[in-house]
Amino acid sequence: MSTDVSSLMDLGGDLAGTYRRTASSGASIDAAVSEADLAALQRDGYVILPDLLTPAELGEIRDAVAPLLDRHGRNGFEGRMTQRVYSVLNKTRSCDRIADHPRVLALLDRLFLPNYLLSMLQVINILPGERAQLLHTDDGFYPPPRPRAALGAATIWAIDDFTADNGATDIILGSHLWGQRTPAETEREPVVMEAGSCVFFLSTLWHGGGANRSAAPRLAVTAQYCEPWLRPQEAFTLSTTRDTVRAVSEDIRRMLGYSIHPPFIGQVDGMHPKRLLEPRAQAL
Ligand SMILES: O=C(O)CCC(=O)C(=O)O
């Protein structure tokens, strides 16, 4: 049998022929800053990125999500005294900067294959009286056994200050390196940080929402990301309207799945998914 293809990767550019892979805005971050972030992340399993959102941006997020916080969690994991908003991109543009912040993308660019995906974007409001959430990892539902490299990463953004008693995310320092070990409750350490900061952690790190022993809610937004060959938690290609896809940044569009993991993953009818955004594809 003769063929001009010796490896499937020879086809890597074919589907992406019309739409070349777009550059990540993570490239705008000083390499020394990102390398320092990465070193802390690899050592501890998490890194705090301070002061990334302005007071105006925080106010915009608070105003936009307040009317969406209309129900409590349905089980102990979601939290009976916790309010969550899913499918955030279809409901407000105010959290876009959280999904595509260049400082975060610069880390993702270093950790994962090109065209990594957004796996989850969620608002989490922990109300006074909420108990500590079950400790968990964010990629434990993918079968490959630990210890292994993280298959994804998460950010949790403090929209309110995170304090030691208001439900700040608890992390287990260094647990990203563990094999099958599970943590004890006594190993929890709250991530204390000011509003506008985020904690970035590997999806292998054990963590959970903290107990809210204060008198005020703790508002946060979390964005999770995964390798481009994994199925994201939120099925964004099914749930995100075409109008929303057009409205978001090129980075978000790529992370929603309007991108190809070479040579074929993510195709639509044998073509690049961005063809769906062309005017003549409106009827699809
Ligand atoms: O709200 C938090 O601080 C953490 C929440 C979390 O890890 C989750 O719900 O998966």
Does the beta carbon of 207 lie inside 6 Å of ligand 1? yes
- Ligand 1 centre and the CA of 209: distance in Å? 5
Q: Band the pLDDT of 20: cuts 50, 70, 90.
A: confident
47, pLDDT greater than 90: yes
Question: Residue 279 has what pLDDT?
Answer: 82
At 114, is the secondary structure helix, strand, or coil?
coil
Give the whole-angstrom CA distance, residue 166 versus residue 131.
Answer: 11
pLDDT value for 284: 47
Strand order in the sheet with 189-190: 189-190, 170-171, 207-208
Tell me what pLDDT residue 13 has: 61
Residue type, 95: C
pLDDT of 283 > 70? The answer is no
State in Å: Cα 138 to ligand 1 middle: 9
Ligand 1 contact via 224 beta carbon (within 6 Å): no
Most ligand 1 atoms within 8 A of CB, residue of 48, 124, 159 to mutate: 124
- Nearest-atom number in ligand 1 for the CA of 122 is 9
Query: In which band, very low, low, confident or very high, does the pLDDT at 21 lie, cut at 50, 70 and 90?
Result: confident
* Dist. CA 169 → ligand 1 center (Å): 7
CA-proximal residue: ligand 1, atom 9 (nearest): 78
11 pLDDT band, cuts 50/70/90, is low
Measure the CA–CA gap between 99 and 227, rounded to whole angstroms.
15
Cα–Cα separations (whole angstroms), residue 133 to 45, 49, 73, 157, 169 = 19, 23, 12, 17, 9
Give the residue from 227, 182, 174 showing the smallest Cα distance to 205: 174
Using the mean position of ligand 1's atoms as its centre, give its distance from the Cα of residue 6 in Å: 45
- 220 touches ligand 1 (CB under 6 Å): yes
Tell me what percent of the residues of the chain surpass a pLDDT of 90: 87
Is the distance from the beta carbon of residue 61 to the nearest atom of ligand 1 less than 6 Å? Answer: no
Query: What is the model's pLDDT at position 184?
Result: 97
For residue 7, the model assigns a pLDDT of 75
- Name all domains of the chain by residue range, CATH numbers in brackets: 24-277 (2.60.120.620)
Work out the average pLDDT over 54-82.
96
Q: Of the residues 207, 212, 218, 233, which should be mutated to test ligand 1's pocket, given the most ligand atoms within 8 Å of the CB?
A: 207
Is the CB–ligand 1 distance for residue 158 below 6 Å?
A: no
- Express as a percent the part of the chain with pLDDT over 70: 94
Tokens 């099914």 appear where?
A: 238
Main-chain dihedrals φ then ψ at residue 157, nearest 5 degrees: -100, 130
Predicted TM-score of the model (pTM):
0.95
Cβ 156 under 6 angstroms from ligand 1:
yes
Does 79 sit in the ligand 1 pocket, CB within 6 Å?
A: no
